[in-house]
Amino acid sequence: MILAMMVLPLPPFVLDILFTFNIAISIIVLMVSLYTRNPLDFAVFPTILLITTLLRLSLNIASTRVVLLEGHTGPDAAGKVIEAFGHFLVGGNYAVGLVVFIILVVINFVVITKGAGRIAEVSARFTLDAMPGKQMAIDADLNAGLIGEDEARKRRSDISQEADFYGSMDGASKFVRGDAIAGILIMLITIVGGLVVGVMQHDMELGAAAKNYTLLTIGDGLVGQIPSLIISTAAGMVVSRVTTEEDLGEQVLSQLFNQPQILVITAAILGIMGLIPGMPNFVFLLIATVLGSVAYMKKSKPAAQAAPAVIPAVPTMEKNDASWEDVTPIDTLGLEVGYRLIPLVDKNQQGDLLKRINGIRRKFAQEIGFLPPVIHIRDNLELRPSAYRVTLKGSVIGQGEAYPGMYLAINPGRVTAQLPGAETTDPAFGLPAVWIEASMREQAQLNGYTVVDASTVVTTHINHLVHLHTAELLGRQELQKLFDHLNAQLPKLIEDLVPKLLPLSTVQKVLQHLLEEGVHIRDMRTIIEVLTEHAAQTQDAIELAAKVRIALGRAIVDQFFPAGADVQAMSLHHELENILTQVMQGGAMQGPGIEPGLADMLLREAREAAQQQEKLGLPIVLLVPGSIRFLLAKFLRRALPQLRVLSHAEVPDSRKIKITSIVGGKK
């Protein structure tokens, strides 16, 4: 349609329809921009901006053709819409019309379009700078079990679309600027061309030709520039607003007219100005009265105050004698919080910590293969007001501080500027961080920080600690519940294994050995089959765990190296292997079983090889013979907790092995 308008001559009635359609489209775009809560809800706006610009330019071409061909016949030669804009809006005075047209172009080009383009440019740059921090925040929520894979994928897509949107808006604003320049040039060319055609071809008087063609040209320009101004205003509103759950009207009413004292001061100033002789007293006093009335109504409106929750005192019964009720069992997992953190766990105060902890347990069960114990939460007045600590069987395994209403800005190592606030460290991973006010959240993200709220800090810390102590969380009760759950699917396998071949305690030790080294137990079918097969030969939990690891080899290797990729790992020097094999025959890697000098050398070279592996961006994995795998892993675990020791038998035959470094090869 746009191409046809540029090439084919259009009758005046069709021009009227198209000009009216252009005005309607611009108003629709403006209304959508007013009621849009998030810029991504109107992500097609850059494309609409291009299409409407082309539509206006094609209409200019079509109307210019009609003006030059039929302008000598009268003011309605190019249709009733252009005639109305040329006569009614500017009173038929082409000088006034010319001034109004130039003012509209200046407003559109210099003020609105330039400002909107600058905002879009800066927003695009800042959005790109903040992407790493936002991505890490999504990963933190995903790891803490607060969101699922689908929600994380959607959030990442939204971040990418947001950057694309502002980048497109930055480019699309250039179309509007070009349209404003083209409007001025088209008007000048049409006026000059109309004078030439009217005087030389139609023998019109110069004054009559100037009046006819100038009014038609100005009417044509106004018909195009007013929709252009509306579209530019819509673009400025879309890129300049801050994303909230309110539309623009709700934001203006809630933020501009929500403070009665400001309205009172404004009304007083206007009232004083209205009393000055020579001023338009009625108008000033009228507006002052309206503002004062609005302020009075807002101030007199009773503010709904939430009554503080009163915790009824529990009547205590005085006991004369001690009883067994005084003996309380220790919680397997516990969370103790200071009194300032109570709102985080109180649903009546919109606390979501309980919901997030349930998400952690659900995600843990899906990843590891069993449901961890319930985390019991209680307040502890002995703690600092903003402190918390996590306990395992009564012992503290982690502690930290969190501040409700504030955000923790974590430095992942590539921030562009430092932030003011209370410096600290991330309690989960020990990264440098700073507690900041909520108003600085956007600035922190733009500077490259990963920003999380207080609830996320606590849940991420709990999630990290739970994974560190996975083996200790698998007690007899949890294992029995796991077997009860599997009994519906694998009744015969479980019946043949426990208690006919192995006691429940031995199975528990086997699973704990696996969990200590980060091996999940989701594949219980394979684990039970392997234990059933080898239980007749040995009852030793360590040997049975080694057999299970070989059966789970593919899953273990896939944890570190993607399917199909080469296994790029460290290895032991053959002389060191022989020495360690002899040490194994002596009983253990610790105490008198290994000479101190050899132990120091082994730890030093293993640490150097691990650092080299980390620099290469590879998992820190050491391949060793199966006979020394368990005790070597136990020996290195304390000094290098991130190191994973695998035996050659655990690597599937289909995987290619590449040795990246040799431990013990230095002389």
Confidence of residue 571 (pLDDT cuts 50, 70, 90): very high
- In this predicted structure, the answer to whether residue 497 has a pLDDT above a threshold of 80 is yes
pLDDT, greater one: 657 or 489: 657
Query: What is the mean pLDDT of the segment spanning 230-239?
Result: 78
Span 505-521, mean pLDDT?
A: 94
- d(C-alpha 642, C-alpha 634), whole Å: 12
| Dist CA 338 CA 476 (whole Å) | 32
The predicted model scores a pTM of: 0.59
Task: Check pLDDT > 80 for residue 153.
Answer: yes
Of 245 and 336, which is predicted with more confidence? 336
Which of residues 512 and 294 earns the better pLDDT score? Answer: 512
Chain-centroid distance of CA 488 in Å reads 41
* Residue 553: predicted pLDDT: 94
Per-residue pLDDT reduced to its tens digit, 614-643:
999 899 999 999 999 998 998 898 889 999
| More reliable by pLDDT, 502 or 254 | 502
Q: How far is CA 296 from CA 305, 342, 519, 601, 644, in A?
A: 19, 38, 68, 82, 71
| Average pLDDT over every residue of 297-323 | 55
Q: For residue 20, which amino acid is it?
A: T
**According to the model, what pLDDT value does residue 89 have?**
61
Q: How far apart are the first and last CA of the chain?
A: 81
Query: If you average pLDDT over residues 155-168, what whole number do you get?
Result: 78
pLDDT at 145: 65
Q: List residues bridging with 649 in a β-sheet.
A: none
Which residues does 416 contact at the CB level (< 8 Å), separation at least 6? Answer: 129, 447, 448
9-18, 288-297, 484-493, 517-526, range with greatest mean pLDDT? 517-526
Arithmetic mean of pLDDT, 28-53? 82
pLDDT of residue 66: 78
What's residue 314's pLDDT?
45
* Predicted local distance difference test score (pLDDT) of residue 92: 61
Average pLDDT over residues 470-491: 90
Pure H helices in 561-665: 574-586, 596-615, 626-637
Residue 31 pLDDT class (50, 70, 90 cuts): confident
User: Among residues 50, 56, 58, 53, which one has the least CA distance to residue 9?
Assistant: 58
- Give the type of residue at 388: Y
Res 198: pLDDT: 77
Q: What pLDDT, on a 0 to 100 scale, did the predictor assign at position 586?
A: 61
Angle between helices 206-240 and 45-70 (to 10 degrees): 180
Q: HEC string of 259-316?
A: CHHHHHHHHHHHHHHHCCCCCCHHHHHHHHHHHHHHHHHHHHCCCCCCCCCCCCCCCC
Instruction: Please report the pLDDT score of residue 94 as a whole number.
Output: 66
Residue 135 has a pLDDT of 74
Query: pLDDT grade, residue 308 (50/70/90)?
Result: very low
At residue 593, the pLDDT reads: 56
Confidence check: pLDDT of 306 > 50:
no
The yes-or-no verdict on residue 662 having pLDDT over 90 is: yes
| Cα separation, 261 vs 246, whole angstroms | 24
Q: What is the pLDDT of residue 247?
A: 67
What is the average pLDDT score of the chain? 82
pLDDT at 97 over 80: no
Extract the tokens encoding 518.
């980060």
- The pLDDT of residue 278: 79
43-88 pLDDT per residue, tens: 888 888 888 888 888 888 887 777 777 766 666 666 677 777 766 6
CB count in 10 Å sphere of residue 265: 13
Higher-confidence residue: 150 or 497?
497
pLDDT at 311: 44
- The residue with tokens 């304390």 is 638
Cα angle at 199 between 198 and 203, to 5 degrees? 95
Do the beta carbons of residue 479 and residue 376 sit within 8 Å? no
Distances (CA, A) of 614 to 176, 388, 536, 583, 632: 51, 33, 42, 29, 20
Highest mean pLDDT among 198-212, 220-234, 329-343: 329-343
Taken in order of first residue, the domains within the chain and their CATH numbers are: 2-249 (no CATH), 329-468 (3.40.30.60), 474-551 (1.10.8.540), 560-667 (3.40.50.12790)
Q: Which residues pair with 398 in a beta bridge?
A: 390
Tell me the C-alpha to C-alpha distance, in Å, between residue 419 and each of 125, 297, 427, 446. Answer: 20, 42, 19, 11
pLDDT reading at 587 higher than 60: no
pLDDT score, position 167:
74
Q: Residue 304 pLDDT more than 60? A: no
pLDDT given for residue 660 in this prediction = 93
Q: Which CB contacts under 8 angstroms, 24+ apart, belong to 149-153?
A: none
